[in-house]
Structure 1
Amino acid sequence: MPLFHRCDGDLVTNLDPIRRMMPLVMPGRNDSIVYHTTRWDIGRTRIWLQNYNRSRGDRPRVTFFHLVLYASARMFHARRGLNRFVANGHIYQRRGVFLSFAVKTRFEEDAPITTAKLAFPEELSFEKCVDMISEAIMQGRSGQLSPIEREVRFLTRLPMPILRLVVAAGNVLDRFNLLPASLIDPDPMYSSMFLANLGSIHIDNAFHHLYEHGTCSLFGVVGKPQRRLQADRSGRTAVREVLPIQWTFDERINDGFYCLESLQTLRRIVEDPQRYLGCQPVCEPVGGIGL
């Protein structure tokens, strides 16, 4: 039992002995890393997005990335056992669903990358989710510094020996559950998932590592839609448009079967948004549709 309570999670106590031991046997996230590839049929999804964007008029265009982020939030609310993290040898249930993603400020080689971290409450509608993500992307490309960027700029002005001490002190505070919420809340590495949209820069086959810093237990890389010869559930093959996503898991938080079943929840929404979200500008809330 840890000495102090965390501000961002609750200790999971009903674990079987094997899972309770895993953080001790594999103390680092990259000790326990698992890679998984999915390719989802997005033929119906593209048509749905085209219709949905027509209904929005001149508002920012909705993309596959918006849909995957929203579907991921629904997955975490429906499958709470995936919204966990390991800290100091203990497994915690995260309080709330937080998704982080990277934004390229300009499509140029030397353009900086900024990150955004957003909270996704259970009652959030798809329409409001799109507006929230679009606003975060526009803010990232505006040149306005986020809280975490201001913090990093301040720290990197310090002499290297002092900076090392500051980082080490932060690690010690986090280890003993004493890191304040004011430092955890804006940090994109303290999130349910980090999603990278590499399809926008024509990369579709890259996995990403997990960070030892923070508590993020799941990383997804959304690739570029591609056409592939693929079989459907009845075994018939045809050329279909698929969306590749490369996943990186921390296997200590839950077993592989639970994680893969959770991705099926995500897949169903992405492949058939008409069924789960409808086609109107104002869509059903997260909690209103059974999965």
Structure 2
Amino acid sequence: MNKEPKRRRGDRRDATLVRDLDSMHVFMPIMMPNRADNEAFIQELVDMSAVEAYLEKKNAQSPEYKYTFFHVILAALARTVEMRPRMNRFIIGNRYYDRNHITFSFIVKKAFSDNADESVMILKYDPTSEKPAIDMIHDKIADFVYSVRKSNKKDGTTDILDTLAKTPMWMRKLIVAILRSLDEHGHMPKDLANEDPYNSTVFISNLGSIKLNAGYHHLTNWGTNSVFVVVGEKHMQPFYSEDGTVAVKPALNLGLTLDERIADGYYYSKTIRLLKKFLAEPELLDIPSKEELNIEY
């Protein structure tokens, strides 16, 4: 993940063809070709008391743009995907690919009102950076949010859609059909591919910010996105310890919708354990991104 591999025959511009599949996985995308038909849904209740204490320390100096639960969850996901690379895998054109980069897409609402405009942010995580994951993600989001909320500037995705929306219906359908075929064969124009949120590692929705709980969200057959994460609203939740005592702690629900073809249940289980490890010990996210983490989970 740290270094983009040399491109070989069969590779895409954005990903490397997986060449060491067992026979079952060779046939799986042929027998079950649609991503949206192969969804696995996982919901996890997460104790956020450690994150809450961590954020108090991070915000003690009263930064202009405060660190939030969302930043911590994104940073934890980034480190998790880095250490669990099959989570960055996708299937298109009946073939498996390992994505060259770790990216996240999410919606930024310019104001909390019914008619407020929305922008799409596509955030690229750099695992070779000297910056810790938490600071990298915090700073990139702060810059983007400031840009879209303090100006009339549109994100690249919205600009492209606004242009295409002016064409007649028959032309829109033709354009989408052509782009779908190009993407299937790895020839989607680079400028379009880079601005498409459905080509990201993880599409994440922070429903907690609008007072909703986490729930199921579908995947799509468009693009290459294999993981959708929904973050619920923080609430107080009783947790039982091993000795039977009860403590009420801050918590939230995470809903993860996954393409079940990219990994097996055991791989997903260990991935969730690692994600929860980062949320239980968020100080790990202060370690520079380029440093390898040897932790048990």
Please, what TM-score do these two structures have when normalized by structure 2? 0.90
Q: Which AA in structure 2 matches 1:144?
A: K
Question: How far did residue 146 of structure 1 move?
Answer: 1.1
Check 1:19–1:4 CA distance in 2 against 1; reply closer, same or farther (3 A cut). closer
The alignment covers a number of residue pairs equal to: 283
Structure 1 residue 233 displacement after superposition = 5.4
Q: 1:243-262 residue pairs with structure 2 within 5 A?
A: 243-262=252-271
8 Å CA contact retained: 2:50, 2:279: no
Q: Where does residue 284 of structure 1 map in the other structure? A: 287
Q: Distance in 1 between matches of 2:268 and 2:26?
A: 17
1:162-241 aligned within 5 A: 162-232=171-241, 236-241=245-250
Alpha-carbon separation, structure 1, partners of 2:77 and 2:18 = 22
The structure 2 residue matched to 1:46, chosen from 44, 52, 64, is 52
**Matches for 1:1-291 after TM superposition, within 5 Å:** 4-55=10-61, 57-124=62-129, 125=132, 126-141=134-149, 142-232=151-241, 236-274=245-283, 276-277=284-285, 283-288=286-291, 289-291=293-295
Q: Distance in 2 between matches of 1:134 and 1:233?
A: 40
Unaligned runs of 5+ in 1: 278-282
State the SS of the aligned residue for 1:54.
coil
Deviation at 1:59, TM superposition (A): 2.0
Q: 2:147 touches 2:153 (CA, 8 Å); kept in 1?
A: yes
Distance of 1:195 and 1:170 partners within structure 2:
24
- TM-superposed CA distance for 1:20, in Å, is 2.0
CA displacement at 1:162 relative to structure 2? 1.0
Cα pair 2:214 2:233 within 8 Å, conserved: no
Give per-residue Cα distances to partners, 1:108-151, cap 9 Å, x unaligned.
Answer: 01223221101101034222321112112222334311111111
1:115–1:140 contact (8 Å) kept in structure 2: no
Conservation of the 8 A alpha-carbon contact between 2:214 and 2:231? no
- TM-score between both structures, scaled by the size of structure 1: 0.92
Deviation string 1:86-115 (CA, Å, 9 cap, x unpaired) is 011111000010111111111001223221
Provide Cα deviations, 1:51-76, integer angstroms capped at 9, x if missing partner.
11113x33201100001111111111
Per-residue CA deviations over 1:246-282 (Å, capped at 9, x if unaligned) read: 11000111112102211211111112213x13xxxxx
SS state at 1:248 partner: strand
In structure 2, the CA distance between the partners of 1:181 and 1:234, relative to structure 1 (3 Å rule), is farther
Identical amino acids, percent of aligned pairs: 30
Write the distance in 2 (CA, Å) between the matches of 1:233 and 1:59. Answer: 41
CA distance in 2, matches of 1:187, 1:237: 46
List per-residue Cα deviations over 1:17-54 (Å, max 9, x = no partner): 22222211211111100111011111121011011111
Native 8 Å contact 2:59 2:67 kept in 1 = yes
CA contact (8 A) 1:11 1:92 kept: yes
| Maintained 8 Å contact 1:100/1:117 | yes
Contact 1:3 1:176 in 2 (8 A): no
Question: Are the equivalent residues in 1 in contact too, given 2:41–2:216 (CA < 8 A)?
Answer: yes
What do residues 192-216 of structure 1 show as CA deviations (whole Å, max 9, x unaligned)?
Answer: 0011100011111321111211101
User: How many Å separate the matches in 1 of 2:28 and 2:244?
Assistant: 39
What is the one-letter code of the residue matched to 2:277? Answer: R
